[in-house]
Chains A and B, each alone.
Chain A
Amino acid sequence: MMTKKFALLAPPCAMVLAAPPAFAETGHPAGGQDFIGLLFVFMLATFIGLMVISRVSRLLHTPLMSLTNAISAISVVGALLVASEQDYPFYITVLGSVALFCSMTNIVSGFLITDRMLKMFKTGKERSR
Chain B
Amino acid sequence: MNAATFDSVIKIVYLVSTALFIFSLRWMSDPKTARRGVIAGVAAMAAAFAGTIIKPSILGENLHFVALAVILGFIVGIPLSRVPLTAVPQRTALSHAFGGLAAGLVGTAKFYHWYLDAPAELTHFRMFAIIAEIILGYLTFTGSLMAAGKLQEVRFIPQRPVTYRGQNEMNLTLFSVAVTLGVLLVIMPWAGWALYAFPVIIGLSLLFGVLLTIPIGGADMPTVIALLNSYAGLSAVFMGFVLDNPLLVTAGALDGSSGLILAIIMCKAMNRSFANVLFGAFGQVQQTASSGEHKVYKPETIEGAAQILEQAGSVVIIPGYGMAVAQAQHKVRELYEQLRKRGATVKFAVHPVAGRMPGHMNVLLAEAEIPYEDLVGMEDINPDMPQCDVALVIGANDVVNPAARTEKASPIYGMPIIDADKARTVFAIKRSKNPGFAGIDNELYFAPQTFMLFGDAKNVVGELGKQLAGGALGH
Contact = CB atoms under 8 A, between A and B. Distances in A.
Interface of A: 3-5, 7-12, 14-15, 17-19, 21-25, 28-31, 33-35, 37-38, 41-42, 45-46, 48-50, 52-86, 88-89, 91-124, 126-127
Given A7-B279, A11-B136, A53 B359 contact: no
Contact of B45 (A24, A30, A70): A70
A64 B229 CA distance: 11
Given A22-B124, A109-B78, A15 B257 contact: no
A105 B98 contact: yes
Contact-size category for B = 35 or more
Contact of A4 (B99, B248, B276): B276
A83 to B, nearest CB: 5
Interface string B90-129: 0110011011011101101110110000001111111111
A72 B128 contact: no
Given A4-B276, A70-B41, A118-B38, A104 B70 contact: yes
The secondary-structure label for the interface of chain A is helix
Contacts of A31: 120-123, 126
B125 A22 contact: yes
B427 to A, nearest CB: 24
B296 interface: no
Contacts of A45: 249-250, 253-254
B308 interface: no
Contacts, number: 442
A33 to B, nearest CB: 6
Given A57-B28, A93-B65, A25 B186 contact: no
B81 A116 contact: yes
B105 A42 contact: no
A58 B350 CA distance: 10
The secondary-structure label for the interface of chain B is helix
B81 A108 contact: yes
A67 B88 CA distance: 13
Nearest to B121: A31
B89 to A, nearest CB: 8
B58 A97 contact: no
Interface in B146-205: 172, 175, 179, 182-183, 186-187, 190
Given A96-B105, A104-B77, 15 more contacts: A7-B278, A10-B172, A22-B125, A35-B241, A38-B240, A42-B237, A50-B257, A53-B254, A58-B362, A59-B366, A65-B258, A69-B229, A75-B103, A86-B57, A99-B101
B363 A106 contact: no
B415 interface: no
B207 interface: no
A95 B179 contact: no
A74 B37 contact: no
A94 B352 CA distance: 42
Scoring A9, A52, A68, A71 by chain B CB atoms within 10 A of each residue's CB, the highest score goes to A68
Interface string B50-72: 00110001111111011011101
Scoring B24, B253, B260 by chain A CB atoms within 10 A of each residue's CB, the highest score goes to B253
Contact of A21 (B62, B186, B276, B363): B186
A9 to B, nearest CB: 7
Contacts of B186: 18, 21-22
Contacts of A5: 273-275
A129 to B, nearest CB: 12
Given A4-B273, A8-B275, A35-B241, A101 B261 contact: no
A102 B68 contact: no
A92 B116 CA distance: 12
B424 to A, nearest CB: 26
Given A63-B28, A108-B78, A110-B95, A75 B73 contact: no
A59 B258 contact: no
A79 B25 contact: no
B282 interface: no
Contacts of B106: 75, 78-79, 82, 95-96, 99
A50 B261 contact: yes
